[in-house]
Structure 1
């Protein structure tokens, strides 16, 4: 059985769990010894990253590295398209989540307590900019839409977060129609639906006044 070091709010662990669920893999989760970023945890995982996976003698950090490792070790059901260019395009889409949309989403977290209108509007404008870029990516990268891909997993979780932020902050994002359709398609996969059901309480707890 795989072991995953995790903290409940981690969006990247939620992303990884979509992959684990889709591939039908068993895993257990452990809290990092001493807490996230503690010296005790860094003695086990030098980078201090969450999630980190233990698979026998193999230890891997970074959700993308873990997902690609699992795809190669457990190739069915496949979560990468066939062909050199489609596989590169899938990685491009996945990196867009990890380096563009998710950081813009994460930048909103500190604003939740202050609720400064100017800062919140600026944060939402940045997210809107990335949603617009994603619209172009979705309509031009030519990736297949019949299967759940590795690059989809992060977006499924990020969209849930963004919708929750809209409700919590009383602001509306500009959701392009292709992004709305993409979110709906991803939610139709059992692995995504199950993970979002599992993960929503963590989002609600974080957004609650006592969070």
Structure 2
């Protein structure tokens, strides 16, 4: 399998965790010509990353790719074996992609200190806190065991790493629910999560340096 990816993409990191957890062999290259280039669009019409090439199949959208790989390689399952469990995992994925990550994305135009807008940062801070609070409630209500890694965890844990990195550097101190702090700690016990994040954090910091932000390497609440 071939993956078109970038070093600092959140969704590419999400896919890397799944591939490593399932112990799947893959190679990774940047989009030829760059994402959105005519060369890449000829290969991947949507221009999105990550993109998966698996024999004659080329597809994008990290969640769609994850579902495809789960069906093709079920030996290390990442969806629960119950109807409610699968629904809970997918619910967490959707929350991460449509609520938590968009709140984080509000900060992206202001990573460069010279571009900071106090009002916009305040709005982003409020939205991130709102989503962290919501995630904390969802985690308390979920009975998905933490000693297993589920598809719903992939985007969630990577987004939380970005939020933790931006805390203090881009947005003011955040309100981390205890349930979310425990969840982050539990997720780092999974080898695939720990391995991918260990190599991903330098790319995250490089992205911030490129944007002119000067942050420490503290990644989250102590």
What is the aligned length? 210
Q: Which residue of 2 aligns with 1:109?
A: 108
- CA–CA separation in structure 2 for the residues paired with 1:67 and 1:134: 21
- CA–CA separation in structure 2 for the residues paired with 1:145 and 1:210: 35
Q: Which deviates more, 108-117 or 49-58?
A: 108-117
Scaled by the length of structure 2, the TM-score of the pair is: 0.90
Task: Assess if the C-alpha contact under 8 Å between 2:121 and 2:171 holds in 1.
Answer: no
Task: Assess if the C-alpha contact under 8 Å between 2:136 and 2:180 holds in 1.
Answer: yes
Q: Which residue of 1 aligns with 2:77?
A: 78
Q: Which residue of 1 aligns with 2:201?
A: 200
Question: 1:132 Cα shift?
Answer: 0.8
Task: Assess if the C-alpha contact under 8 Å between 1:168 and 1:207 holds in 2.
Answer: no
Question: 1:145 Cα shift?
Answer: 2.2
User: Is 1:129 equivalent to 2:135 in the alignment?
Assistant: no
Unaligned stretches of 5+ in structure 1? none
Question: 1:89 Cα shift?
Answer: 1.4
- CA–CA separation in structure 1 for the residues paired with 2:126 and 2:208: 20
Scaled by the length of structure 1, the TM-score of the pair is: 0.95
The 3-state SS of whatever aligns with 2:108 is coil
Aligned positions of 1:82-93 closer than 5 A: 82-93=81-92
Q: Which deviates more, 10-19 or 66-75?
A: 66-75
Question: 1:146 Cα shift?
Answer: 2.3
Q: Which residue of 2 aligns with 1:190?
A: 191
- CA–CA separation in structure 2 for the residues paired with 1:181 and 1:59: 37
Question: 1:209 Cα shift?
Answer: 5.3
Q: 1:97 to 1:210 in 2, by over 3 A?
A: closer
- CA–CA separation in structure 2 for the residues paired with 1:119 and 1:16: 30
Coordinate RMSD, CA, aligned:
1.4
Question: How big is each residue's C-alpha offset from its partner over 1:95-130, in whole Å with a ceiling of 9 and x where there is no partner?
Answer: 100111111112211011212222212111111111
- CA–CA separation in structure 2 for the residues paired with 1:46 and 1:154: 24
Question: How big is each residue's C-alpha offset from its partner over 1:111-169, in whole Å with a ceiling of 9 and x where there is no partner?
Answer: 11212222212111111111111111111233222201011011111111111101423
Unaligned stretches of 5+ in structure 2? 213-222
Task: Assess if the C-alpha contact under 8 Å between 2:70 and 2:78 holds in 1.
Answer: yes
- CA–CA separation in structure 1 for the residues paired with 2:168 and 2:53: 37
